[in-house]
Every structure is written in C-alpha cells, then in structure tokens.
Amino acid sequence: MKSEVYNQSTCLVSMVAYQYYVEEKSRAEIGEEFGLSSATISRLLKKAKEEHIIEFHISEPYLSCQKMAEKIKDYFHLDTVMVVPVEEQETEENRQDIKKAVALEGARYVQRVITDGDVLGLAWGGTMYHMIQYLNPCRKVNASIVTMHGSIANCNQNLEVKSLVRRAAMAFGGRNVSFVAPGLYETKEKAEKLKKQPGFEEVFKLFEKITIAVSGLGSFYPNFDSLLARSNFLSEEEIASLRGKDAYTDLSLRFIDKDGQECETSLKDRTLAIDLDVYRKIPCKVVMASGSQKAHSVLAVLKGNLADVLIIDYHLAEKLMGLLK
C-alpha cells in the first residue's frame, strides 16, 4: 500500500529521478532525505522511465555504432563487436587516424582480458604496430607472447612480427617466444624440415596453447591493397595464383577466399605460420580492421569463423552491413 502511495506522487517520482540522475546523489542520500527505502527508490526510478519523466539519449554516431555492432554480433554469433565512432567522412588523409583509433580499442581490449597463464598470439601489420604502441602503460601479467608466423621479406621493421612480440612482452612483462625464420619458403620440403627443428617445434606446439590471438587483415578484393604486395613478399605468379582462387584477404600469412576457407595454392604448404585448423580452436580470436575497402575481407573472415571479437570503424561497419542485405 505504501509503495502505491509513493508511485501515485508524480512530484516525488520526478524529485527522486532528479536527485539521482542530475544531482548524482546516492540511493542512501536520497533515502535519508525523503525517508525512503532502497527498494522504494528503485521502484520510483523505474516509474520515472515508464512515464518518460526521464529519457536517455545516445548521440550520433555513437548510437549507430552500437546498433551496427549488435546486428553484426547477432548475425555472425560473435562474442564481442566494437564499432569505433568516426565523425568525419572517410578520406585518404584520415585513413591513418581511423586505423589508430581501431588499434587503440584493440589494445584496451587485450589489456582488459589478458591474465596470468594466457598465451597471446600476434600477427604483423600496420594496425598491429599501432596497437602495440598503445599498450603502455600496462599492468604486468605472467603470460607468453608468441609470433603466429615467420618474418616478411623486405617489410618495414616496425611492422615485423618479431619486433611486435618483443615489445608486447616488454609491455606486459611476459615471456617472448619468437622464431627467427622467413614466413615463406621456396618448397614445401624446406618449410616442413624447418618445422621439425627443436626451437621451431616448440613454437608450433605453443600455437595449440594460444588463448588469445590478435590479427589485422590485408585486402585482396576488390582491390589488391594488402601490405604483402607492397613488401614484395609475393611474386607476380603467386599473386596471380591467389587471384585465381578468389583470395579476399590474408590473416597471419594465411590467404582466405570469399567463403572464409584457405586458398588451395602452393603457398599453403610453403608458409611458416599457424595452421587455420589450429587457429580456429583459439578461444579468443581478435580481428581488427579499418577502412571501408576491407568490408569484403572482414566478411570472408566472419564466414570462415575466424573471429570471436571484431573491432572495426564506423565506415567499415556501414559497408559490411550493406553486404549483408
């Protein structure tokens, strides 16, 4: 009966709502001022929402980001989707700023979830470079940080996976586990022989214990915009072979077709990198990407169940949503 009397007082409902949401007083303070129990205050605040005495407003583009994130998450049954707000139009001039914004969210996510005993697998790339930059300051954890593939010939050393793993290990105070070897070999036999050597065998066994993997994405479709092309990692013949197999993206030196499966070319057996079958079993696979030109790349990865956590920017999310219609 008492609660019904309180609920019938519109003035009391609005006063409690004002004190709680505007004045930011605690429930205890409001209870003391008005002689109300915590349960009654909860009912009054609920009433304030139901009667539209108070309304919550999320500004754009933040609201659209959250709506797209939820739709993408539900559509692909992902654990987490983050859509980074971008208030200006996408241009060549701001492409790096957008990439950095995505990388920052990636860094903060990894910092939140990593814990003692984790094995963190890292790939190479521009977004990965910026993510590592944002790890400091960082809480220390007893974790292992491991490279998920070999080195890229002629690439910018700042983007080199060994360098990224070393710096991440320093940031977290964890163990650095890397192999010093090229990511691609002339023949399948040479790659297989190297995998069996003691130091390399240890790393490949550690792949099966990775608990968190973080990767960027290269773009092969509609434009061949992957860093791998600019690093001369691939020959013209190899690029032609990948195009013939409908390659859409690369992830940790594995080339993925439009359906999310690994392209069946000679590169598959000549590459020193984590196998996709092993990668898919990792409990937390974080994929970061920026730029609307990577929408097809992201879609391919999601079709192949190669991501649990997706971190992308507003324009990329908008383009991806268009592909789902």
Q: What is the pLDDT of residues 171-206, one digit of tens each?
A: 999 999 988 888 888 888 988 888 888 778 888 899
* 207/155: higher pLDDT: 207
Mean pLDDT of the chain: 91
Domains in the chain, number: 2
Distance CA 180, CA 203 (A): 11
**Which residues span the domain enclosing 215?**
62-324
Residues 99 and 190 in one domain: yes
Helix 62-76 to helix 314-324 angle (10° resolution) is: 40
Residues 79 and 28 in one domain: no
Distance CA 271, CA 253 (A): 7
Query: With 70 as the cut, is the pLDDT of residue 6 above it?
Result: no
CATH number of the domain residue 12 falls in: 1.10.10
Residues 193 and 285 in one domain: yes
Residues 66 and 45 in one domain: no
Residues 261 and 207 in one domain: yes
Task: For CA atoms 266, 267, 272, 277, give the dihedral sign.
Answer: negative
Q: What is the pLDDT of residues 244-286, one digit of tens each?
A: 999 999 999 999 999 999 999 999 999 999 999 999 999 999 9
